[in-house]
Structure 1
Amino acid sequence: MVKVFRCPARHGYAVEASPFMVDRLACAASQYYGIAGCGSLLVLDQTESEVHLVRRWEWADGLFDVAWSETNEHVLVAGGGDGSLQLWDTANHGAPLRVAKEHTQEVYSVDWSQTRGENLIVSGSWDHTVKVWDPALGQSLTTLKGHEGVVYSTIWSPNIPGCFASASGDGTLRVWDVKSALCRLAIPAHKMEILSCDWCKYDQNVVATGSVDCSVCVWDLRNVRQPVNQLHGHTYAIRRVKFSPFTRTLLASCSYDFTVRFWDYNRNPPLLDTMEHHSEFVCGLDFNLHVPNQVPHRHTHTLWVN
């Protein structure tokens, strides 16, 4: 069954499934495609037949990404067009718990670390920098520079503590070590902007990138002279890529071509399925960690749960 939630006058940028609650989702959205206007952060629950609103907060600028805490089921962080990160609590109907504003341009990516014994947030911005934060969102712990373009995506390794990947408009995928505050690896992964990256959940050496060149590339970090596989089929820029939490070689991608595609990068041909029910850009998607093959995805006004 396909369940749909519509949010008029808001354009969805990201959707994230809760790591704690089977049926809970968070969505970051903006007015006017994020070019102007305010933003909304939505918390949604699913039933057998529908998706309904649990909490909605408004922000004075667009919201472009959201991530759930890995230690507290009620807390989430969002990134805004005003350069801020906001910490929200579903028990609090009003203002965020904390706001941190160090980035000088839009925060386009936020992620919460998953490795045991670690509790950190990473953010990527249009100001070309990446920042690492403690969950209280006080002063950032470190600012990492090296990208020569907008940082569109920052993703913690699910296996290696203190390690994350970033993807940028400069066409590079970079792997960072937080402890030494250094870039350990810089891969010229695409000749055009990279809008998304994600780590394989089962292999610490495998990362995927999605680009404006319409391709998804899968990389083995031990040998980056060429990708393990290049996945072709999208006809416009790829907005987000996500690896499955259940199947080692399965990943999904969504695009400005209005489609969501599913791939097995170890198969030939790798394309498994194409979902074409969207009527506008598809900007966000995630895998439900509790329900195999359930993939919430977000286009401009509508959330779909398959």
Structure 2
Amino acid sequence: MSLQVRFITRLQKYSVPDTTLVIPSSSTNSQLEAILKGLLQQTTGSSNDFSRLSFDFLCLNQLIRSSLEEHIREKDESLLESIIEIEYIEKFQAPEPEDALMHDDWVSTCKSLGDTILVGSYDTKIHLWNNQGEHITSLPGHTAPIRSLIFIHSDEGEHEFISGSHDQTILIWKYDQNKNSVKSLITCKGHQGTIETLALQKSIFASGSFDKTIKLWGLEEQQQQEQTSTKECRVTINAHNENVSSIGWNSSNELVSCSWDQTIKLWNMDTIQSTQTFKCGKAVLSLDISPVNGLLICGFTDRFIRLYDTRVQEGYVLRSTFSSHSQWVPSVMWSRTSEHLFVSGSYDGLVKLWDTRSLKAPLYDLQGHEDRVLCVDWSVDQLILSGGADNSLKMFSFK
């Protein structure tokens, strides 16, 4: 069986004539690439070498991961009789393993900003590294494992960040690397359970806990506070029926939370009221909101990752389900620059790089962990981080 196709692209430098071709319906990615490179050779002349280029192919807004015929039959069989548009894009290269930074206990949370990496561990300490894999310092302060970290600021050796712990406290740090001194250490008390998650929005940050609540805290008043002072929260929200597993800011006045009670909730922070509740049927372990397209990804205890559009006021908000992990997915994070790419970490010991246009398979498996993956981070575009129960922080470069 043959199909009529037309190759299209947004890559101006690799465009080919808008002509209709007849190709075998059994064509796969490698065969499509061979056909395309032949067209490119004809278009630009034989002096150009396209052998080092790699392309991916989209049909009906999904990456082709089977034969072209199988792909189309799954989407819309009637299109087999028409001219099929196939979009080609440059293939993302596999992230390269760079380093493994070893710790004395589980690596439970990690964040990067600029050339600095923050790591929280079950050894109760916060560890600062640079992106060259050099250890800067270890900061004691908590009395139990650290579960959550967020940067406020990091520049020229001055680092401001927030940490949450099993010890039910949140610490606000100002660490001067040049003087090797903690200039300010403010303790936030009020939660009655482990601080599982933190999210920053300008001068306000939120915390979610095993005590089922979300608390809001202010940062601007800390200028007037003495060192090692204690502050109380501004607002407490009785948010969920089970522990709050993850939170994130959707906008300056909207917070998203998820919980072991199998729900995702949207909160209006002007009124401190829940505006929407999504019942998921499974415990939700992690969430992240794309800074590019505003879509929400969540990791679940049933091993699936689900993509939601929370902007929809009516209708179906679940957009896609991604299946490849074999165990719980406690950490997910979008690329900060791509609307399609995100990473996930699972108890199956794997980190996976996904494209939202490929539901059945990730782009790449990032291997190396010897135990459960507990956290991933993609705050810096060129660097993917993952930490796990093998006591290691893995660094992968992405280009």
Normalising by the residue count of structure 1, what TM-score does the alignment of the two structures yield?
Answer: 0.87
Paired with 1:130 and 1:177, the residues of 2 have a C-alpha distance of 13
Match of 1:197 in 2: 287
State yes or no: 1:122 paired with 2:206: yes
* Residues 268 and 97 of structure 1, relative CA distance in 2, 3 Å threshold: closer
Contact 2:320-2:359 within 8 A present in 1 as well? no
Could you tell me how far apart the structure 2 residues matched to 1:268 and 1:296 are?
Answer: 23
Report the CA distance between 1:203 and its aligned residue.
Answer: 2.0
* 2-structure distance, mates of 1:250, 1:224: 25
Give the alignment partner of residue 352 of structure 2, picking from 261, 279, 294.
261
Q: Kindly indicate whether residue 378 of structure 2 is the aligned counterpart of residue 295 of structure 1.
A: no
Flag the structure with more relative contact order, 1 or 2, with Cα contacts below 8 A and sequence separation at least 6: 1
Partner Cα separation in structure 2 for residue 281 and residue 269 of structure 1: 22
Alignment match, 1:88? 173
Aligned to 2:200: 112
SS in 2 for 1:287: strand
Task: List runs of 5+ in structure 2 lacking aligned partners.
Answer: 1-96, 223-229
Q: Is the 8 A contact 2:175 2:183 kept in 1?
A: no
Question: Between Structure 1 and Structure 2, which shows a larger proportion of helix residues?
Answer: 2
2:64 is aligned to none
Cα distance, 1:95 vs structure 2? 8.4
Match of 2:46 in 1: none
Task: Indicate yes or no: 2:249 matched with 1:147.
Answer: no
Q: Trace 1:198-277 onto structure 2 (pairs within 5 A).
A: 198-204=288-294, 206-221=295-310, 222=312, 223=314, 225=316, 227-277=318-368
Q: Aligned residue for 1:29?
A: 121
CA distance in 1, matches of 2:267, 2:321: 24
Offset of residue 234 of structure 1: 0.6
Q: Which residue of 2 aligns with 1:15?
A: 110
Q: How far apart are residue 264 of structure 1 and its match?
A: 1.2
AA partner of residue 170 (structure 2): L
The one-letter code sitting in structure 1 at the alignment partner of 2:151 is W
Change (3 A) 1:70 1:225: farther
RMSD: 1.9
Equivalent residues of 2:128, 2:138 under 8 A apart: yes
Distance 1:282 1:175 in 2: 28
CA 274–151 in structure 1, closer or farther in 2 if over 3 Å, else same: same
Q: Secondary structure at the match of 1:192?
A: coil
Mapping for residues 52-91 of structure 1, pairs under 5 Å: 52-58=134-140, 59-70=142-153, 74-91=159-176
Q: In the TM superposition, what is the alpha-carbon distance from 1:266 to its structure 2 partner? A: 2.4
Inter-partner Cα distance in structure 2 for 1:29 and 1:268: 33
Cα 1:252/1:55, change in 2 over 3 Å: same
Q: Note if contact 1:55-1:93 (Cα within 8 Å) is conserved in structure 2.
A: no
How far apart in 2 are the matches of 1:220 and 1:277?
A: 33
Distance 1:71 1:119 in 2: 16
Q: Which residue of 2 aligns with 1:281?
A: 372
Structure number, greater radius of gyration: 2
Deviations 1:144-175 (A, max 9, x none): 11311110111122xx2122211100011111
Unaligned runs of 5+ in 1: 32-38
* SS at structure 2 position matched to 1:28: strand
Equivalent pairs counted in the alignment come to 282
Change (3 A) 1:173 1:224: farther
* SS of alignment partner, residue 187 of structure 1: strand
| Secondary structure, counterpart of 1:105 in structure 2 | coil
The question of whether the paired residues in 1 share the 8 Å contact of 2:323 and 2:359 is answered with no
Moved more, 230-239 or 141-150: 141-150
- Alpha-carbon distance, 1:195 to partner: 0.8
Alignment CA distance shift 1:268-1:110 (3 Å): closer
Deviation at 1:134, TM superposition (A): 0.6
- Equivalent position SS for 1:179: coil
Superposition TM-score, scaled by structure 2 size: 0.67
Where in structure 1 do 4 or more consecutive aligned residues deviate above 4 Å? 70-73
1:53-86 deviation line (CA, Å, top 9, x unaligned)? 1121122111101000058761100001121100
Cα displacement (A) at 1:268: 4.9
